[in-house]
Amino acid sequence: MESLEARSRDVQERTFCKWLNTKLESNGYPAMSSLVKDLSDGVKLIQLMVYVSLGRYNKTPRMRVQKAENVNKALEFITSRGVKLTNIGPEDIIDGNLKLILGMIWTLILRFTIADISEEGLSAKEGLLLWCQRKTEPYKEVDVQDFSTSWSDGLALCALIHCHRPDLLDYDKLDKTDRHGNTRLAFQIAAEHLNIPQLLEVEDLCDTRHPDERSVMTYIASFFHAFSSMDQAETVSRRVEKFAELMQSVWISKNDYERRVRLLLLAWTEMQTSWRASLFTGTYTESRERSAEFSTYKQTVKRAWVTEKQDIATLFGNVQTKLKTYGLREYVPPPNLSLLDVDDAWKALLASEAQRSRAINAEIRQIKETLRKKFAEVANDFEQRLHAISSELTSIDGPLEVQQQSVEQIQTRLPALSETLNYVSEAEAECNAANIEENDYTIFTCQDLEFELELLVQRISKKIAFIDNQIVSRNMTNLTPAQLEQFESTFRYFDKDESNTLNQSEMTAALASLGIVYSDEDMDYIYDQLLQDYGAVSFEAFINLLVEITEDQTSPEQLREAFRGIASDKPYVTELDLRIAHLRTPSIEFLRETMPHTQNETGEPEYDYERWLDDVFA
């Protein structure tokens, strides 16, 4: 990018310097060799303004302030001629800021060489480009689209010369592939026969991918001015041709306007008819589809109509402007096709659109309200049934066998209740599909009710397990109440999943917490035997096992001796003592939670096993 900019800057510096030299030499002043050097004292700038007196100036300035006065005088004059100079001051020229100097000269070229170019209503660059295109149009090898690459083979230059002065070269005999030769020939003929100075070099056009646009424009503008007198002969015929083209374009535009207005009005009428004929089925899915279709219409069809309406108004305005520009009679559209008719039809469409929007929104609101009430009805009814069963469960009383029968009868009603919850879930799914987030008719969600049902199921299971355990406890006449309470609390503690059964590891830990330890082999045998007898280590199986063990092996005094051995005859036992004795972790945790304790001076708990055993065997 830097290389391309530097190359363009070099070409511009050389071209602009030659252009300035043509002005200086035509007025008897010596030519410049360097823009940076020769413009820095302001003398050359002032000499370029010879056609007007700028008063006295420093012709041989030496000091910077003298140079600044000269440059400033020239810049003020340029500005006074309506030339807008941007971002450049005397110091930029004195200090040789080439980029800004080139910009200033380009502004001068535009103002005094290119700005006055006019071709069919276009001026400056666009007018010059159109002039080149018109002149070179008959030449099939030439396609002028810009002031850069279109001139790199020399054919466009040769075509311009041949178009105006066919006596100077034979275009058909040119070697169309000889880019350098064609360019060199055009330069030579222009300089020798047309008095057009050669501002460019052959390599500036032929040896670069992107010839500098400003330099090419400056050179081509010389051709325009050289041939302008010859073009005057074409003015009369072109005037007639231009008027014919104008009238034809107006006729085409009027027909296009009327055709597009008819199509647009017909489309609006058909859309309103379809809206009136559309009926709702009462389902949320269908209503949302209608809403989506309406939104799509507003984002696509309606926007296209808005654009078309504006384009039609612009087209109508362009027709009227053309007619007014040339003093022709104003265009009056046929009946019902004026812009006022279009505006009235548009207002009618907007009114129908608003009515359609209100109808869709009202239908969606009604459907949502119906879905809210439907869900609230099934959810509230389900919660009432849950509450009724819960209250019934709470009020169960009487003998254990009667309570057991009542709870089991309640349990048989749970499957039907779960089935009812499916209806609640379906109703909630319909609400979710309709994007209903609030419901003033109920405070419950399906998740709330699922949670409450799960709690009720657990409560019933626990109630059945509790009654079963109480029946077992009641029948254990060979155990003291304290023993029963201890054994029951131990069972409940190690029944982690509240299934009212113990697996082998839970049973081993429970026995160990009671001071009953067996080898792994013995424990495997006991567990397997209980499974054969009871199907699982239920509370009944656990109690019966403890009855057998306590009747056969354990006495309060034996337990005291065991704890004294673990405590090394201390009246208390510590957690460290229990771990040294290789009690399992669950047993240690149970003893820590149940035995009374105090803390020594180091904050370590000391567990009073004597008091605990007194309480247990009281």
The amino acid sitting at 280 is F
When pLDDT is cut at 50, 70 and 90, the band that residue 1 belongs to is very low
pLDDT at residue 318, rounded to an integer: 93
Task: Tell me, letter by letter, the H, E, C secondary structure of 485-502.
Answer: HHHHHHHHHHCCCCCCEE
- Token digits for 508? 């081993």
**Closest among 143, 119, 133, 125 to 217, alpha carbons compared:** 125
Instruction: Mean pLDDT check: name the lowest of 184-188, 329-333, 553-557.
Output: 553-557
Residues 614 and 605: beta-carbon distance below 8 Å = no
Strand, helix or coil for residue 123? strand
Mean pLDDT on 480-485: 74
Q: What is the dihedral of CA 418, 421, 423, 425, to 10 degrees?
A: -130
pLDDT at residue 82, rounded to an integer: 82
Residues 109 and 98: beta-carbon distance below 8 Å = no
- Token digits for 477? 């006449």
pLDDT at residue 114, rounded to an integer: 86
Phi then psi for residue 502, to 5 deg, are: -120, 140
- pLDDT tens for each residue of 493-524: 998 888 888 999 999 998 888 888 888 888 89
- pLDDT tens for each residue of 89-105: 999 999 999 999 999 99
Mean pLDDT on 135-160: 95
Burial of 338 (0-12, 13-18, 19+ CB in 10 A): middle
When pLDDT is cut at 50, 70 and 90, the band that residue 608 belongs to is very high
Instruction: Indicate if the pLDDT at residue 52 is higher than 50.
Output: no
Residues 16 and 218: beta-carbon distance below 8 Å = yes
Share of the chain above pLDDT 90, in %: 48
**Closest among 496, 498, 507 to 530, alpha carbons compared:** 507
Residues 92 and 100: beta-carbon distance below 8 Å = yes
When pLDDT is cut at 50, 70 and 90, the band that residue 226 belongs to is confident
Q: Which residue has the higher pLDDT, 158 or 510?
A: 158
- Token digits for 183? 């360019």
Mean per-residue pLDDT over the chain, rounded:
88
Share of the chain above pLDDT 70, in %: 94
Helices 213-231, 179-193: axis angle to 10 degrees equals 50
- pLDDT tens for each residue of 107-129: 888 888 888 787 777 778 999 99
